[in-house]
Chain A
Amino acid sequence: MFQKEYETMPRRELRSLQLERLRWSVRNAYDNVESYRRHYDQAGFHPDQLKKLDDIRRVPFLTKEMMRENYPFGLFARPMEDVVRLHSSSGTTGNATVVGYTARDIEVFAEVVARCLAAYGGTKKDVLQVAYGYGLFTGGLGLHYGAEKLGAATIPIGGGNTDRQLMLIQDFGTTMLACTPSYALNIADHIAVKRPDFKLRDTNLRVGILGAEPWSEEMRLEIEERLGIEAYDIYGLSEVIGPGVSAECEKKSGLHIFEDHFYAEIIDPETGEVLPEGEKGEIVYTSLTKEACPVIRYRSRDISRLYHDDCVCGRTHVKMEKVSGRTDDMLIVRGVNVFPSQIESVLMEYEGTEPHYQIVLDRRGAMDDIEIQVEVTPAIFSDELKNLQGMASGLEERIKSTLGVSAEITLVEPRTIERSLGKAKRVIDRRQ
């Protein structure tokens, strides 16, 4: 464990630390950020109302829209002279959001990532290949400084160029690889098609640090099997800090949220009500120690569940379930809520089906139409029409029984669905 005294802190102590830090953090926002002050004054909230931890429910939410409206520096609580780094989320939908870090924020960022790496069994003896994109995206630099903080040998290769990735895994003796889960599968495909001679199992690679997009338990099994590694989930949002908000431990069941830095709640995305522990809903984050860009009750749009269990790893921090989707990924099809991740689970459960798929939504008359394109790989190929048709109709039945809506399965040739080095494009919505 990288910071045992915090990671295993008794709950009571942790809660009092959280309250103390929460009051500081809300004060930091209120006193130093005009937008927060106006927002809170309008809602009749004042930081002095925070007497106990549950009083956080009185604090108005911070939404993604507010972050965009304050582009670029409207939510900064420190002058630029105290800011040492700027990151920005991709501005693909509307404006981008910008996050600034003080030197202390960068230190915390590195520490929480180092905690993640230690939770996956990493030590300073490891050689960590960072195949996340560097640049404005927090993934690359986040993993980079966390790995250095841990003392691991860090390889800043960045995303893409799979042949080069393989070369360095072999030549540099890489033990841990950080990338998106879809890129991990890309690597497996690349080896299968282009480099069948490359034996990943003969290299030192043993751990995958996978994040930046939701992925299913089935996908984990496939990645572990095909790459011969242990695959762990790392989670974070650039608005909150970047990767390192939470991490799986050796148990691979749920991600411990580093609660001494981030306070998490689950709300009903429709009503904004805080839900009881264990219920599924939207996660809301509050940064407890960030100086430059405090986020107070930030609505993440990520769907998960929070719970405590006596984890064998000894960490006392709350667990979040693997993110099962985003409120804005949620597709409403014929009045039913559908998450792409549910479709992925069905495909993965079906023997041999790889998760190379794309969901195409269209409108046929007044009806929403879902088509799921699945690539026919050698593993699921059959020389007989009836087997292929049987597979398609079997999948259709499972989708119907699991999701409650019917979808049409279309079998397509391998590698016809667009691949990306970063996030996979899973949904095409043509209904507008």
Chain B
Amino acid sequence: MVKQVSVFLENKPGRLEHALKVLADGGVNIVALTIAETSGFGLLRMLVDQPTKAAQALNSAGITSSETPVTAVEIKDTPGSLLAAVKGFKERNLNIEYLYTFTERHTEDCIVVIFRFENCETAERVLWKEGYKLLSHEQITGKKQDDA
């Protein structure tokens, strides 16, 4: 399980920049980032090196955020690998709320995919049994988690 920081943003010019500036000023490094949006608002989802520090910085700037448990999985960088994984989840009734790939190449022949499962713990147990490699916060960010 990896802690993802999710942020509420209005679809207005400058809002993303504002949030990023708050994090930069707080000395927080963003490792992976994705944005989901509707016509009115967006959700910024990020993996950062210091999630607790990020939450504090956002909170004192009056930005609404939350920490969400997500699963980071190593998947082979070959055609059909992701498809195979997703098919497997479907067979086991593991609902994916959303996913995004981690652009930084983790090892020579693998990429990292971040999954948000309805039930994170069950999903991780299944993945682990199947032989997938689950990555920790430290493996992804290169830093120990700054738990409060």
**B142 smallest CB distance to A (angstroms):** 24
- B19's nearest neighbour on chain A, judged by CB, is A413
- B70's nearest neighbour on chain A, judged by CB, is A383
Within 8 A of A (CB), among B1-34: 4, 6, 8-10, 15
Within 8 A of B (CB), among A96-138: none
**Most chain B CB inside 10 Å of its own CB: which residue of A412, A413, A416:** A413
In the complex, the answer to whether A413 meets B8 with C-beta atoms within 8 Å is: yes
Within 8 A of B (CB), among A72-111: none
- When chains A and B are docked, how far (Å) is the Cα of A127 from the Cα of B147? 42
In the complex, the answer to whether B45 meets A383 with C-beta atoms within 8 Å is: yes
**A215 smallest CB distance to B (angstroms):** 23
**B56 smallest CB distance to A (angstroms):** 10
Given B15, B66, B98, which contacts A381 in the complex, CB threshold below 8 Å?
B66
Knowing A411-B41, A412-B10 touch, does A384 contact B62 (C-beta < 8 A)? no
Given A377, A383, A415, which contacts B68 in the complex, CB threshold below 8 Å?
A383
In the complex, the answer to whether A385 meets B43 with C-beta atoms within 8 Å is: yes
A414 in the interface (beta carbon within 8 A): yes
- When chains A and B are docked, how far (Å) is the Cα of A323 from the Cα of B133? 62
Knowing A388-B41, A413-B15 touch, does A383 contact B6 (C-beta < 8 A)? yes
Which secondary structure dominates chain B's binding surface?
Answer: strand
In the complex, the answer to whether B66 meets A383 with C-beta atoms within 8 Å is: yes
- A389's nearest neighbour on chain B, judged by CB, is B38
- When chains A and B are docked, how far (Å) is the Cα of A415 from the Cα of B45? 21
In the complex, the answer to whether B38 meets A413 with C-beta atoms within 8 Å is: no
In the complex, the answer to whether B62 meets A193 with C-beta atoms within 8 Å is: yes
- When chains A and B are docked, how far (Å) is the Cα of A410 from the Cα of B39? 10
**Most chain A CB inside 10 Å of its own CB: which residue of B40, B68, B98:** B40
In the complex, the answer to whether A414 meets B41 with C-beta atoms within 8 Å is: no
Proximity bits, A137-177, B CB within 8 Å = 1, else 0: 00000000000000000000000000000000000000000
B60 in the interface (beta carbon within 8 A): yes
- When chains A and B are docked, how far (Å) is the Cα of A416 from the Cα of B45? 21
A378 in the interface (beta carbon within 8 A): yes
Q: Which residues of B contact A414 (CB under 8 A)?
A: 62-64
Q: Which residues of A contact B4 (CB under 8 A)?
A: 383
**B64 smallest CB distance to A (angstroms):** 5
Given B40, B63, B97, which contacts A384 in the complex, CB threshold below 8 Å?
B97
Within 8 A of B (CB), among A362-411: 376-378, 381-385, 388-389, 410-411
Within 8 A of A (CB), among B30-74: 36, 38, 40-41, 43, 45, 59-60, 62-66, 68
**A393 smallest CB distance to B (angstroms):** 12
Q: Which residues of B contact A376 (CB under 8 A)?
A: 8, 41, 64
In the complex, the answer to whether B64 meets A194 with C-beta atoms within 8 Å is: no
**B120 smallest CB distance to A (angstroms):** 12
Within 8 A of A (CB), among B105-127: 116
- When chains A and B are docked, how far (Å) is the Cα of A411 from the Cα of B42? 10
- When chains A and B are docked, how far (Å) is the Cα of A194 from the Cα of B15? 21
In the complex, the answer to whether B68 meets A411 with C-beta atoms within 8 Å is: no
In the complex, the answer to whether A413 meets B10 with C-beta atoms within 8 Å is: yes
Q: Which residues of A contact B8 (CB under 8 A)?
A: 376, 381, 388, 411, 413
- When chains A and B are docked, how far (Å) is the Cα of A194 from the Cα of B68? 24
- When chains A and B are docked, how far (Å) is the Cα of A388 from the Cα of B6? 13
In the complex, the answer to whether A381 meets B10 with C-beta atoms within 8 Å is: no
- When chains A and B are docked, how far (Å) is the Cα of A194 from the Cα of B62? 9
- When chains A and B are docked, how far (Å) is the Cα of A385 from the Cα of B62? 20
- A416's nearest neighbour on chain B, judged by CB, is B10
Given B9, B45, B64, which contacts A378 in the complex, CB threshold below 8 Å?
B64
**B131 smallest CB distance to A (angstroms):** 29
Q: Which residues of B contact A389 (CB under 8 A)?
A: 38
Q: Which residues of B contact A412 (CB under 8 A)?
A: 10, 41
Knowing A381-B8, A383-B68 touch, does A411 contact B63 (C-beta < 8 A)? no
In the complex, the answer to whether A385 meets B38 with C-beta atoms within 8 Å is: yes
Within 8 A of A (CB), among B63-93: 63-66, 68
The 26 sampled A-B contact pairs (Cβ below 8 Å) are A193-B60, A194-B60, A376-B41, A377-B64, A378-B59, A378-B65, A378-B66, A381-B8, A381-B66, A383-B66, A383-B116, A384-B97, A384-B98, A385-B38, A385-B43, A388-B8, A388-B41, A389-B38, A411-B8, A413-B8, A413-B9, A413-B10, A413-B15, A413-B63, A413-B64, A416-B10
10 tightest A-B contacts by CB?
A383-B6, A383-B68, A415-B62, A381-B64, A376-B8, A413-B10, A376-B64, A411-B41, A414-B62, A378-B64
A-B contacts besides A377-B64, A383-B68, A384-B43, 16 pairs, CB < 8 Å = A193-B60, A194-B60, A376-B8, A378-B59, A381-B6, A382-B66, A383-B4, A383-B66, A385-B43, A388-B43, A389-B38, A411-B10, A411-B41, A412-B41, A413-B64, A414-B63
